[in-house]
Amino acid sequence: MNVEQTTLPKKFHDAVLHWQRHHFPDYDLLPKYWEKYFPNEPEFCLCAKMEIGMGDTIEVGDRKGQPRMLKPAEMGEDAAGHLLAIIRAQASTEFGSIQQHEGTLARAQDDEDRFWVLRVMAEELRHGYQMFHMLTSQDWSSVSSQKAEEMVEEILSMRTGSHVLDAFNLDYDSFVDNVVFAAVIDRVGKYQLSMQRVCSYKPFAQSMPPMLREEAFHLAAGVIPLRRWVQRAAQGNELVTVSAIQKSFHKWFPRGLEMFGHEKGGESNVRFGFKNMKNAEAQSQYYDECRKMIADLNQRYVRARSPKLSPEQAETLVSRVLQDGTRDGVAREDLLELPDPRFFRRKGEPAWTLIGTRGEAFETVDGYLEHLKAQLPEAYLASRDMSLYIGTLREVVAGTLAPEQASKRMPSLKRVGGVCPCSKSVRWIVEEPGEAATPTPPAPDRVVPGAV
Amino acid sequence: MYSQAVSATPGQVRIRTLSELDISGIVAIDERLTGVYRPDVWERRVGYYIRRDADACPVAEADGKVVGFMFSDVRGGEFGLEETSGWIERFGVDPDYQGRSIGRRLFEAVVAHLKERGASVMRTIVDQKDEELASFLRAVGFRNAPLTALELPMSGASDGAAGAGKPGAASRPTGQKP
């Protein structure tokens, strides 16, 4: 792996650091404790990284076999506009996840878990920085009336509730969410980055391998603490219960599925050579991978409870418990289950259907609400997101709102603040003397199917 | 990344990059070879290697099951060895899949990746009593190095992460043919 590191022009670099001071104050702890938690590992670098030595030929789509494109203008208006939306949405997710993590980071019971998540957050900051490099190092004026400064300003002004994708608009309820989010939502990120490695626009393709290498650790920062939590739960000395983990999975997994975009979509991404899979195919692989993760966690639980079981015996026990109920002292509620892919969906094919975690159908919204109350974290039930969801669901079921319209309504927790919170007159980007760019007010949120 | 370059073969064993979902499979291989179940050890090691460079740690997969692994990384400047070196620390192959050149294929994937990362020499340390391991390493090209590994037992000191392996020391569960 041969990587070229680049720093953004000063005003953009400073804008990111300015944003970090407000939304990610714990960032400063990372260098202080790096050697303790990540000894002998290369220090974190806030920079854009471009993979050197990637192929010059487009691998998929209408232009397969042609040279990869180096400038937005070479792509054609449709393709460039589509890719710009993907880049902006991706940037939004990177900064959005930091805002989410920061709220509950300090609540981690274990310092190692906390510093792993802290490193994840720093690397998400770098990924956002990478997307800004994509936005600011090339001329997108053929497809956007916004200047680079305005695009950066808009993204840095987003808050939890105003990001492009739903998963980044939900507050965390506890540190359980930090960990489950890394295991479930970052896994979607891994799929998107993997698919985009083939991108016909070379700078974007070159951005993917360094991000993917970092994303691999983000998944480990989710799965490894989960493995330890279920082990402790099995041994009866847990503070994080299996039920708390299960409910957090119920909160995040449906949003993860929706991040792939509508099940019938994704053709443009393949046609333009931006990704190598359509939405449904990628989503299906993701679902299988999550099933494997849950199976591993259940195996870890059962063997912590009965160390004499062989791996095969443990697997059989898990299957029987999930099928028939309690066996050998292990109850179905002791184990984790991946919810039905139609559960609690608000976008995509199964949006607004009343399907429970195990695929059961409900007749009424009130009946479904009772089910959701039992299956979702209590703190999340009290959220604005839930009240908005239930209100919208009632309208859809009553026939007063079309499902497609309802899906477009989410997210709508507008909290875009166009100015830096430290002063009403200062924006994130501070212009150098002589520059006259005046950012326009943030544009309305746009939902980009299939983009992350 | 070699995970893209090396796909399934007629023998249905493919070599790919280590991921966090391989922990259970690696624990199972270790358990089959040593008779000891130690998931916590492998959680630490897998977490460590994924952070450092997951591409330097290939796993062999057959029918969706992990059947072999090799953990390595690139270092320089340690022990006065200034040149960039690739170190192999741990590897193992499921007993049911031994004798199918899986160890060799894992090693080739490691070498290809570490070369790309600038390593000019591969290094490892082997237990003198483990003739079988030494024989495998010689078969893939290792030679005696002009270095001697020394140790000083510290009375009263704990063994630390038992079984986790010392940095740079290749080890594998006993009783296997790579």
- Predicted pLDDT of residue A431: 58
Residue the block writes with tokens 């190095």: B145
Is the CB of A189 inside 8 Å of chain B's CB atoms? no
At residue B132, the 3 state secondary structure works out as helix
Torsions phi, psi for A46 (to 5 deg) = -85, 90
pLDDT single digits (tens) B66-106? 999 999 999 887 777 888 999 999 999 999 999 999 999 99
Beta-carbon neighbour count of residue A241 at 10 Å?
Answer: 16
- Residue pair A436/A429 in contact (Cβ under 8 Å)? The answer is no
**What's the pTM value of the predicted model, to 2 decimals?**
0.89
Torsions phi, psi for B104 (to 5 deg) = -65, -40
- Predicted pLDDT of residue B7: 46
Residues of chain B contacting A, Cβ within 8 Å: 1, 4, 17, 19-21, 23-24, 28, 31, 37, 39-40, 43, 46-47, 50-55, 116-117
pLDDT tens sequence for chain B (178 residues): 444 434 455 558 999 999 999 999 999 999 999 999 999 999 999 999 999 999 999 999 999 999 999 999 998 877 778 889 999 999 999 999 999 999 999 999 999 999 988 999 999 999 888 888 899 999 999 999 988 888 899 987 654 444 444 334 456 544 444 4
- Residue pair A286/A372 in contact (Cβ under 8 Å)? The answer is no
pLDDT tens sequence for chain A (452 residues): 689 999 999 999 999 999 999 999 999 999 999 999 999 888 999 999 999 999 999 999 999 999 999 999 999 999 999 999 999 999 999 999 999 999 999 999 999 999 999 999 999 999 999 999 999 999 999 999 999 999 999 999 888 777 777 778 888 999 999 999 999 999 999 999 999 999 999 999 999 999 999 999 999 999 999 999 999 999 987 789 999 999 999 999 999 999 999 999 999 999 999 999 999 999 999 999 999 999 999 999 999 999 899 999 999 999 999 999 999 999 999 999 999 999 999 999 999 999 999 999 999 999 999 999 999 999 999 998 999 999 999 999 999 999 999 998 776 444 444 556 665 444 666 655 554 444 444 343 333 334 33
Give the mutation candidate from A180, A187, A190, A217 for the B interface (greatest B CB count, under 10 A).
A217
- Residue pair A63/A271 in contact (Cβ under 8 Å)? The answer is no
What the block records as the tokens of A135 is 């936005």
CB contact under 8 A, B20 and A220: yes
Distance CA A196, CA A274 (A): 6
How large is the greatest C-alpha to C-alpha distance in chain A, in angstroms?
A: 75
B55 contact residues in A (CB cutoff 8 A): 1, 213
Kindly report each contact of residues A267-270 with a partner whose C-beta sits within 8 Å and lies 24 or more positions away, as own/partner.
Answer: A268/A82, A268/A450, A269/A82, A269/A86, A269/A195, A269/A450, A270/A60, A270/A61
Ordered alpha helix ranges (H), chain B: 2-5, 23-34, 39-53, 102-116, 131-139
Is the CB of A262 inside 8 Å of chain B's CB atoms? no
Tell me how close the Cα of B115 comes to any Cα of chain A, in angstroms: 9
Identify any residues that bridge with A69 across adjacent strands, giving them in sequence order: A201
Measure CB to CB from residue B20 to each of A41, A224, A299 and give the nearest one: A224
Torsions phi, psi for A281 (to 5 deg) = -65, -45
Task: Identify the burial level of A355 via C-beta atoms within 10 angstroms of its C-beta, where 0-12 means exposed, 13-18 middle and 19 or more buried.
Answer: buried
Measure CB to CB from residue B24 to each of A2, A209, A296 and give the nearest one: A296
Taking CA–CA distances from B47, the nearest residue in chain A reads A220
Identify any residues that bridge with B14 across adjacent strands, giving them in sequence order: B61
Q: Is the peptide bond before A225 cis (omega within 30 degrees of 0)?
A: no
What the block records as the tokens of A366 is 């009130």
Q: Which amino acid is at A10?
A: K
- Residue pair A411/A168 in contact (Cβ under 8 Å)? The answer is no
